[in-house]
Structure 1
Amino acid sequence: MQIRLTTTDTPAAEEVALIGQNLTAYNDADVGPSGRRVLAVTVRDETGALLAGISGYTGWGWLYVQWLWVHESLRGQGMAGQMLTAAEDEARARGCHSAWIDTFNPIAEKAYTRQGYAVFGELPDFPVGRSRKFLQKRLTPSG
């Protein structure tokens, strides 16, 4: 059998989907189904414009917050904490025991630690001049 290794920045969507499907099938066989479900929290104004939001998922008993964004007009008002609380509450309802998030923004890191997250890992110079911090939190029934 001849194989060919290719590197690209324009993979076909079908190939990316197939990679994900095959990895999911492998992981399901190895450790059991993840039960992965999308989770989003949004904040809108009276016109329906999006002013803040969280996008992530729950799986294997964990909440992963992939993206958390707050419009500059709402920053510094505790919106990140309110959205995290809502996401954590939904994660608990889904049976999650813990949550994790990552950031290279020192201001965001402070917001997450105020919410009860603790740093468990760090990648220096990601991006150069900053460190990407990985934070986690145990989701107890009471918060």
Structure 2
Amino acid sequence: MPDTIRKVSYYYTTAPDKPGEGARLLQALRNAGVNLLAFHAFPSARKSQADFVPADAAAFEAAAKGAKIKLSKPKTAFVVEGDDRVGALASIMGRLGDAKINVTAVSAVCAGMSRYGAIFWVKPRDVAKAASAVGAM
């Protein structure tokens, strides 16, 4: 089965870089019944940045507001899902390279049951070109 590549909206927030902050954010969303397609967090300028890719943007925004989580405006990323295999992500990255698109960041993981998933980001000016290069929905 071919990989599925979707253009998705993501949001970010910053939080203190200390134990329990990620759990606090995720628990607030869980308690509101928010489903995330992806979550990615990393240190940034003495804080932590947490990126959220919600399945339902409206529900996510309402839950974040209720939990007093200050969000960025929606931005664009790409989510990949497919059958796990050697070099699964190589052809996608190759198509982006061939199109002269620089990937800002990428994370991938084996999801078990012979499946894998990935998320990648490109500069806003390259979103339409990247979507075309990889056949994103």
Structure 1 or 2: larger strand share?
Answer: 2
Relative contact order (C-alpha < 8 Å, sep 6+): which is higher? 2
With the length of structure 2 as denominator, give the TM-score of the two structures: 0.28
